[in-house]
Amino acid sequence: MSTFATEILDAYLDFYRHEWGRGIIPLHDPLAAGVLLDPSFATAWVDGPVNVVGHRFTSRARLMRTHDGLPPAFPSTPAPPTRVVTAVDAPRFVADFVEVLSR
């Protein structure tokens, strides 16, 4: 596992060096997978409608409500409630992630 992880992480570092000018590895994708496997990584969340919003070349899922729980001031498409994680136990996740990659 550690050999495979090293090759993947090298590719990530190269990509972010090229795109952002620095060697970093954002953990949002591994964290999303981690929360699916162990929901206790999530420490806070809200439920509400989510829309996929596109701007030119990017698309993002966006919670369609304000911090007060009100609908946004712009048009949105009705959608069923979706759980959106707003806080995680980052130190515990990173420790677990590194331990798994070290195997």
> pLDDT, tens digit, for every residue of 5-34?
788 888 888 988 998 898 888 888 899 999
Question: Helices 28-37 and 90-101, interaxial angle, to 10°?
Answer: 90
Instruction: Return the percentage of the chain with pLDDT > 90, whole number.
Output: 51
Q: What is the pLDDT of residue 26?
A: 85
Cα separation, 17 vs 79, in Å, equals 37
| Nearest-angstrom CA–CA distance, 44 and 86 | 5
Pair 80, 48: CB distance under 8 Å: no
Which residue is it, tokens 């829309």?
51
Here the tokens at position 45 are 């969340």
The whole-number pLDDT of residue 54 equals 84
What's the pLDDT score for residue 2? 75
pLDDT at 89: 98
In 1-103, alpha helices (H): 2-20, 28-37, 90-101
Whole-number pLDDT of residue 49: 95
User: Could you tell me the pLDDT band of residue 79, with boundaries at 50, 70 and 90?
Assistant: very high
In eight-state DSSP terms, residue 44 is: E
Token pair for 35: 């929360």
